[in-house]
């Protein structure tokens, strides 16, 4: 089976509008978590988030997105999509080709328009311009329409692991000859809906989150989008290859609708399966970008799973205190970070950590450092026990 390589990256998050800005902020250890400015909710001062400090009109203008019914989620997706396609030197004809797949993830879709949705769902009056923009698929359908894409298009929603599964699905399309290239990733924007949902579950932190810390108080939500261009190795010619997507694993924890098992069965299985598809042993993993949301439940379950699989886990970080938890975009955003780790042979610090969890005693890397990395794992775990792990490898 031919190897799947990454030839393009695009990202927008609370720490930057493009790949270079994100990398710079990661190196400097800057957190993008702050009080909400643009998302209208009574929790704006109470639950800090990783908000992208651009208004919808400014995004529309920058992207020349004048179509009616475009949502913030679609705008963020378009922003990252354009960067990734440009980075991979894709022509418009390449993007539209029947050989190009688009696999995107979203969990919020157009539900960021809480008030419009409330109106359209409950009243018989004339609808808003967003009637066909609420579902998760609307984001990718917008990109499909804008670029006249004729290949396989799909939208995946497995909650917080959605875009890791989108990356996996795209890679499998390439390996099975169903596409020549796949633009894969995810997008989610901050919404009153998710802020209230996670708040009702009592897992939103009142401060900047502290992943893997004994005294962690929950997660911060974030927003963003990231896309990767995947191509088969034999077809990339003289393009820059950032990394190989060498392994992927998906599992279900089958324990509880909204929390992970204490022994981390699901996370352990997804990491194990990723190692199997990559044909690697645990010892060969140089570094992990953990899911590390900063909730009591996730960080304990993930730590336990890492110890079960690795014994002494390799160096690891969580980037959630940088960007917030971007839900359906998280897997893709952290895939970009993992690829930057590999490509630049460096580790970005995990922020906000003070004290290891008593029972697991794991300590994330807390300072920037150059590092010799060969295989990097990225974890994403979601509600419904949906666990996914990806492995990226350095091209040698």
The residues binding other proteins (CB under 8 A) are 41-43, 107, 111, 114-115, 117-118, 120-124, 126-127, 131-132, 134-138, 140-141, 144-145, 149-150, 152-159, 165, 169, 172-173, 176, 178, 192-193, 196-197, 199-201, 250-258, 265-266, 269, 382-386
Q: How many C-beta neighbours within 10 Å does residue 262 have? A: 12
Write down how long the chain is.
396
- Cβ proximity to other proteins: between 252 and 363 the closer is 252
Name the minimum Å distance from CB 158 to other proteins.
5
Name the minimum Å distance from CB 361 to other proteins.
27
Q: How does DSSP assign 317-367, residue by residue? A: E--HHHH-B-GGGHHHHHHHHHHHHHHHTEEPPPPS--SB-TTT------S
- Cβ proximity to other proteins: between 121 and 312 the closer is 121
Cα 198 to Cα 61: distance, rounded to the nearest angstrom: 32
- Cβ proximity to other proteins: between 271 and 357 the closer is 271
- Cβ proximity to other proteins: between 38 and 193 the closer is 193
Name the minimum Å distance from CB 46 to other proteins.
10
Cα→Cα distances 202→36, 160, 193, Å: 19, 17, 14
Name the minimum Å distance from CB 258 to other proteins.
5
- Cβ proximity to other proteins: between 57 and 257 the closer is 257
Kindly tell me the sign of the dihedral angle through the C-alpha atoms of 337, 276, 163, 243: positive
Q: Are strands 153-156 and 100-105 parallel, antiparallel or unpaired?
A: parallel
Kindly tell me the sign of the dihedral angle through the C-alpha atoms of 380, 291, 85, 69: positive
Name the minimum Å distance from CB 144 to other proteins.
5
- Alpha helices (H) in the chain, listed in sequence order: 19-28, 56-63, 72-87, 92-96, 114-122, 137-147, 162-175, 192-200, 265-278, 296-310, 320-323, 330-344
- Cβ proximity to other proteins: between 56 and 153 the closer is 153
Cα 45 to Cα 32: distance, rounded to the nearest angstrom: 15
Residue in 145, 72, 82 with CA at minimum distance from that of residue 108: 72
Question: Is residue 250 within 8 Å of 39, Cβ to Cβ?
Answer: no
- Cβ proximity to other proteins: between 272 and 374 the closer is 272
Name the minimum Å distance from CB 18 to other proteins.
28
Name the minimum Å distance from CB 99 to other proteins.
13
- Cβ proximity to other proteins: between 341 and 379 the closer is 379
Name the minimum Å distance from CB 203 to other proteins.
9
């Amino acid at each position: 089976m031919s190897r799947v390589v990454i030839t393009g990256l695009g990202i927008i998050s609370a720490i930057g509008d493009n790949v270079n800005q994100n990398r710079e902020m990661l190196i400097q250890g800057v957190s993008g978590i702050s009080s909400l400015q643009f998302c209208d909710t009574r929790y704006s001062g109470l639950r800090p988030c990783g908000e992208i400090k651009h208004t919808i009109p400014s995004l529309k203008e920058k992207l020349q997105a004048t179509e009616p019914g475009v949502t913030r989620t679609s705008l963020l997706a378009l922003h990252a999509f354009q960067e990734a396609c440009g980075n991979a030197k894709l022509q418009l004809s390449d993007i539209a080709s029947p050989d190009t797949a688009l696999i995107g993830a979203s969990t919020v879709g157009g539900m960021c328009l809480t008030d419009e949705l409330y109106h359209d769902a409950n009243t018989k009056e004339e609808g808003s311009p967003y009637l066909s923009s609420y579902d998760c698929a609307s984001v990718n359908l917008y990109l499909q329409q804008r670029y006249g894409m004729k290949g396989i298009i799909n939208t995946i929603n497995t909650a917080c692991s959605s875009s890791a599964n989108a990356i996996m699905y795209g890679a499998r399309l390439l390996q099975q000859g169903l596409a020549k290239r796949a633009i894969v990733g995810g997008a989610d924007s901050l919404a009153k809906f998710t802020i209230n949902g996670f708040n009702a579950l009592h897992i939103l932190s009142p401060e900047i989150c502290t992943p893997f810390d004994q005294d962690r108080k929950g997660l911060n939500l974030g927003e963003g989008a990231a896309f990767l261009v995947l191509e088969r190795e034999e077809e990339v010619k003289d393009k820059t290859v950032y990394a190989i997507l060498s392994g992927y694993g998906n599992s279900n924890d089958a324990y509880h609708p909204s929390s992970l098992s204490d022994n981390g069965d699901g996370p352990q299985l997804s990491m194990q399966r990723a190692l199997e598809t990559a044909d690697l042993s645990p010892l060969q993993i140089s570094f992990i970008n953990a899911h590390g949301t900063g909730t009591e439940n996730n960080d304990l379950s993930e730590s336990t799973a890492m110890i079960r699989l690795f014994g002494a886990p390799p160096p690891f970080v969580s980037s959630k205190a940088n960007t917030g938890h971007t839900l359906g975009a998280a897997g893709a955003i952290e895939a970009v970070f993992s690829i930057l780790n590999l490509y630049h042979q460096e580790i970005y610090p995990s922020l906000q950590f003070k004290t290891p969890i008593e029972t697991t005693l794991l300590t994330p890397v807390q300072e920037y450092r150059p590092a010799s990395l060969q295989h990097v794992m990225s974890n994403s775990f979601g509600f419904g026990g949906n666990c996914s792990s990806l492995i990226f490898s350095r091209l040698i």
